[in-house]
């Protein structure tokens, strides 16, 4: 791995085939062909780049975290038509370039102000081709807080045989409306890495409003990557798709 932070993150990451299978269904549901231009925004360590490349998609992946960006770049070196660049939502400058923009595994939740969320949606709307599809996957903090599930400790074994334990802590900043998720990684019971993630508590009502204001239509909602039709949100994930109208 490129560094300890990335290595520990990937140990607890799962195969992304189910994500790309869902995205494949989604773009077809909106009337697109198989070969499409895709922006994977907030691509992390490149979790789904290989599966996207296997679909013969032309992929640009963006990642603001320098360590994750380096790991995703290594993944992309072995793939055709996959390019990884640095940056996040505020660096999206393209116009009418993509058939699909996918923000998987919560990057949109890291935008902690209404202004930054609106700016990101406007940029993505501009970057999509007419008829292009946007997919946003964020935690459904309303469900998480309502059911108040205590985070579970998980553990696995590294390729070198070390016991790696992941301890998750949660905190809510009521004033700022943010949810703080902290990952503590222990290797053989010694704390080796701490990652703190501050995310906005975004409701479906707000997201629908912002999408409409940014010019999107045909909004659909899903509870998980196994969905094959629009659903009423009931889970701890808030997954939303929308379309840039064919003529704007």
Report residue 157 as tokens: 């074994």
Say whether pLDDT at 11 is over 70: no
Same domain, 127 and 162: no
Could you say which DSSP state residue 107 is in? G
Instruction: Tell me which residue range forms the domain holding 40.
Output: 4-141+201-243
Question: Quick one: 207 and 188 in the same domain?
Answer: no
Please tell me whether residues 224 and 213 are part of one structural domain.
Answer: yes
Q: How confident is the model at residue 158 (pLDDT cuts 50, 70, 90)?
A: confident
Q: How far is CA 194 from the centre of its chain?
A: 21
Least confident piece of the model among 30-39, 106-115, 208-217? 30-39
Report CA torsion sign: 48, 54, 56, 58. Answer: positive
> Is there a domain that residue 21 lies in?
yes
Confidence of residue 1 (pLDDT cuts 50, 70, 90): very low
Query: Is the pLDDT reported for residue 248 higher than 60?
Result: no
Give which of 48, 50, 24, 143 is closest to 105, Cα–Cα: 48
Query: How many Å is the Cα radius of gyration of the chain?
Result: 18
The residue to which tokens 């603001």 are assigned? 64
Residue 226, both tokens: 């196994």
Average pLDDT over residues 77-97: 96
Quick one: 193 and 207 in the same domain?
Answer: no
217-222, strands of its sheet edge to edge = 82-86, 58-63, 37-41, 98-103, 128-139, 237-243, 217-222
- 12-16, 36-40, 64-68, 219-223: the lowest-pLDDT one: 12-16
CATH number at residue 26: 3.40.50.150
CB atoms within 10 A of CB 152: 8
User: pLDDT tens digit string along 97-116?
Assistant: 999 999 999 999 999 999 99
Task: Looking at the structure, tell me whether residues 236 and 187 fall in a common domain.
Answer: no
């Amino acid at each position: 791995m490129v560094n300890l932070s990335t290595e520990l993150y990937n140990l607890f990451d799962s195969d992304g085939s189910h994500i790309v299978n869902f995205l494949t269904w989604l773009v077809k549901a909106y009337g697109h062909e198989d070969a499409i231009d895709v922006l994977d925004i907030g691509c992390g360590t490149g979790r789904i780049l290989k599966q996207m490349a296997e679909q013969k998609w032309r992929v640009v992946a963006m990642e603001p975290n320098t360590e994750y960006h380096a790991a995703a770049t290594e993944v992309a070196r072995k793939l055709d038509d996959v390019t990884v660049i640095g940056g996040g939502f505020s660096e999206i400058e393209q116009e009418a370039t993509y058939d699909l923009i996918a923000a998987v595994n919560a990057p949109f939740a890291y935008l902690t102000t209404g202004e930054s969320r609106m700016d990101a949606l406007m940029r993505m709307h501009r970057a999509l081709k007419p008829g292009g599809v946007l997919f946003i996957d964020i935690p459904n903090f309303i469900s998480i807080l309502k059911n108040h599930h205590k985070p579970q400790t998980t553990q696995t074994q590294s390729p070198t045989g070390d016991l790696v334990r992941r301890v998750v802590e949660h905190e809510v900043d009521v004033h700022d409306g943010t949810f703080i998720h902290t990952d503590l990684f222990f290797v053989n019971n010694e704390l080796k890495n701490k990652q703190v993630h501050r995310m906005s508590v975004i409701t479906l009502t707000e997201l629908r409003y912002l999408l409409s204001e940014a010019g999107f239509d045909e909004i659909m909602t899903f509870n998980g990557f196994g969905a094959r039709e629009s659903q009423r949100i009931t889970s701890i994930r808030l997954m939303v798709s929308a379309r840039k109208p064919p003529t704007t």
